[in-house]
């Protein structure tokens, strides 16, 4: 017990520096929540953290997220070492940006979530995929995909005009620089392709 208390204190001190948007008592609470989530789960990474399913359940139950594609991408954004497991460090540092990140941190995070294939661009196909999953289909629509395609075109041509200022070849791909400029000009574009941050509540 003394060792675990000492280990907890070391973690709190370390994460208090790296997860700079939380104070030490908040870090300690998040570590305890992490340990509870791990203890309550029967996941294969129980000795070091928790898996995608536990993380998705947490996103759904605590933050009300429902979109499968975006929840998977949020998992990948938290899972910095790409080992399919969220460690306590990834948990606390990820939540620091997720809950209290600066605009710059949130721009980087949202871009990472939306760049589905990790090639450094948000393509028309990726926009389509995310908007298709996040919008409700109307039963009367003959081809609901057509409505999504129209929305992607609107996002590119109208709402996201700032994105295209540097898109010289007009291929509908948004670079990080395009995305950052657009969001800085209009903060509402931060979650243009689906909710991947918690709401105010």
User: Residue by residue, what is the 3-state secondary structure of the chain?
Assistant: CHHHHHHHHHHHHHHHHHCCCCCHHHHHHHHHHHHHHHHHCCCCCCCCEECHHHHHHHHHHHHCCCCHHHHHHHHHHHCCCCCCCEEHHHHHHHHHHHHHCCHHHHHHHHHHHHCCCCCCEECHHHHHHHHHHHCCCCCCCCCHHHHHHHHHHHHHHHHCHHHHHHCCCCCCCEEHHHHHHHHHHCHHHHHCCCCCCCCCC
Measure the CA–CA gap between 140 and 133, rounded to whole angstroms.
18
**C-beta neighbour count of 14 within 10 angstroms:** 13
pLDDT score recorded for residue 172: 66
- Residue 151 sits in a domain whose CATH number is 1.10.238.10
Domain C-terminal end among 45, 69, 100: 100
Number of domains in the chain: 2
26 neighbors 35 (Cβ within 8 angstroms): no
Determine if residue 197 is left, alpha or beta; phi over 0 gives left, psi from -120 to 50 gives alpha, anything else beta.
beta
Q: Specify if 200 maps to a domain.
A: no
Going residue by residue through the chain (201 aa), what tens digit of pLDDT does each one get? 444 788 888 889 999 899 999 999 999 999 999 988 888 777 666 667 888 999 999 999 988 888 889 999 999 999 999 999 999 999 999 999 999 999 999 999 999 999 999 999 998 888 888 877 766 555 555 666 776 677 666 666 544 454 444 454 456 678 898 888 888 988 888 998 888 998 776
For residues 139 and 56, state if they share a domain. no
Residue 199 lies in a domain: no
Residue pair 165/177 in contact by the 8 Å Cβ criterion: no
The residue range of the domain holding 39 is 5-100
Last residue of a domain, which of 56, 85, 100?
100
């Amino acid at each position: 017990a003394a060792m675990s208390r000492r280990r907890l204190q070391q973690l709190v001190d370390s994460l208090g520096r790296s997860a700079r948007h939380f104070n030490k008592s908040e870090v300690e609470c998040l570590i305890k929540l992490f340990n509870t989530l791990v203890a309550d789960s029967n996941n294969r990474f129980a000795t070091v953290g928790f898996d995608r399913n536990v993380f998705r359940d947490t996103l759904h139950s605590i933050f009300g997220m429902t979109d499968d594609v975006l929840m998977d991408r949020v998992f990948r954004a938290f899972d910095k070492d790409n080992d399919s497991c969220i460690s306590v460090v990834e948990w606390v540092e990820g939540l620091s940006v997720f809950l209290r990140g600066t605009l710059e941190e949130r721009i980087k995070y949202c871009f990472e979530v939306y760049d589905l294939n990790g090639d450094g661009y948000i393509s028309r196909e990726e926009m389509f995929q995310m908007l298709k999953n996040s919008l409700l289909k109307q039963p009367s629509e003959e081809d609901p995909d057509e409505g999504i395609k129209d929305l992607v075109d609107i996002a590119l041509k109208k709402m996201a005009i700032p994105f295209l200022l540097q898109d010289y070849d007009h291929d509908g791909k948004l670079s990080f620089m395009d995305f950052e400029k657009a969001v800085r000009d209009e903060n509402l574009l931060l979650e243009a392709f689906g909710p991947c941050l918690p709401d105010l509540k």
